[in-house]
Amino acid sequence: MVASPLPSLILGSTSRYRRELLQRLRLPFESVSPQVDETPLPGETPAALALRLALAKARAVSRLHPNAVVIGSDQVADVDGEPVGKPGTHERAVAQLRRMSGQTIVFQTAVAVVRADTGFEATELAPVKVRFRTLDDAEIEHYLRLEQPYDCAGSAKCETLGIALLSAIESDDPTALVGLPLIRTCALLRSAGLDPLMGAR
C-alpha cells in the first residue's frame, strides 16, 4: 500500500518571526499574505480578537489554496482588558512601554489551522503572562532605538534584548510569546492530517 502524499503547508502570514518559528519543524511550507482587516470589533476582548483574526487569516488563504493545510496566527497584548497591537511608530512604542512598566500583561497568542478540502478548521489560544520591570524613560528610549520593535505587539521582542525589560514570563507553550505557539500548532496540524514529526525533512 502506497502512503498518500502529505498535503502542502502554507503559513498565512508574512511575519518573519512566525516564519522562523515554523522553520523549526523542518516541514516544507510557503508563506502567503492573508490580507485581513485587523481592526477590533466594538467591545471585542483581546482573546476574542486574536482568535477571530487567526481564523480569518487561515480562512482567507485557504480560499485561495483549498487543498493545502493553512496556518493562521495572531497576537494581541491584553492591557487591562484593552487590546494593544503593533505600535508602528516610535512614539506609540514609547507610550506602550510606559503603560506596561511595572505591570503584568497577558499576550493572547492564537493559532488556527484550516484545511478546506476536508472541512477541518480549529483554533487554539496560548495566553502568556509577562511581568514588566519598572522602566524609566532612558531605558525605554535606549531599547527602542536599538531594537526598533515597531512590528511587535507590545513593543518588546523577548527573543532578543527585550528580555531585559522583563522580570518574568509564564507560559505552557514556550514559543507563543514570539508569535506562534508551536506545541499547539503541532497538535492542530496532526488533527488536520499533517504529522509534523513524520513529515519533517
What is the end-to-end Cα distance of the chain in Å, rounded?
Answer: 22
Domain assignment of residue 51, yes or no: yes
- What CATH number is given to the structural domain containing 78? 3.90.950.10
- Does 74 qualify as catalytic in the annotation? yes
Residue 1 lies in a domain: no
What pLDDT, on a 0 to 100 scale, did the predictor assign at position 4? 60
Residue 3 lies in a domain: no
Which one of 37, 74, 136, 137 is the catalytic residue? 74
Query: pLDDT below 50 — which residues of the chain?
Result: 1-2
Helix (H) or strand (E) holding 59: helix 46-64
- Is 69 part of a structural domain of the chain? yes
Q: Where are the alpha helices (DSSP H) in 118-168?
A: 137-147
Place of cell 512614539: 91
Residue 153: its pLDDT value, please? 83
Given this model, what pLDDT does residue 86 score? 87
- Number of structural domains, the chain? 1
- 74 occurs within a structural domain: yes
How is residue 113 written as a grid cell?
489551522
Specify the pLDDT at position 1: 41
Paired with 132 in beta bridges are: 166
The domain in which residue 66 lies consists of 9-199
Strand partners, 124: 111
Q: What angle do CA 10, 16, 22 make, to 5 degrees?
A: 45
Give domain status of residue 117, yes or no: yes
Q: pTM of the full predicted structure?
A: 0.90
CB count within 10 Å of CB 180 equals 26
Report d(CA 140, CA 98) in Å as an integer: 8
145 closest CA partner among 179, 187, 97: 97
Q: Is residue 90 part of a domain?
A: yes
Residue 151 lies inside a defined structural domain of this protein: yes
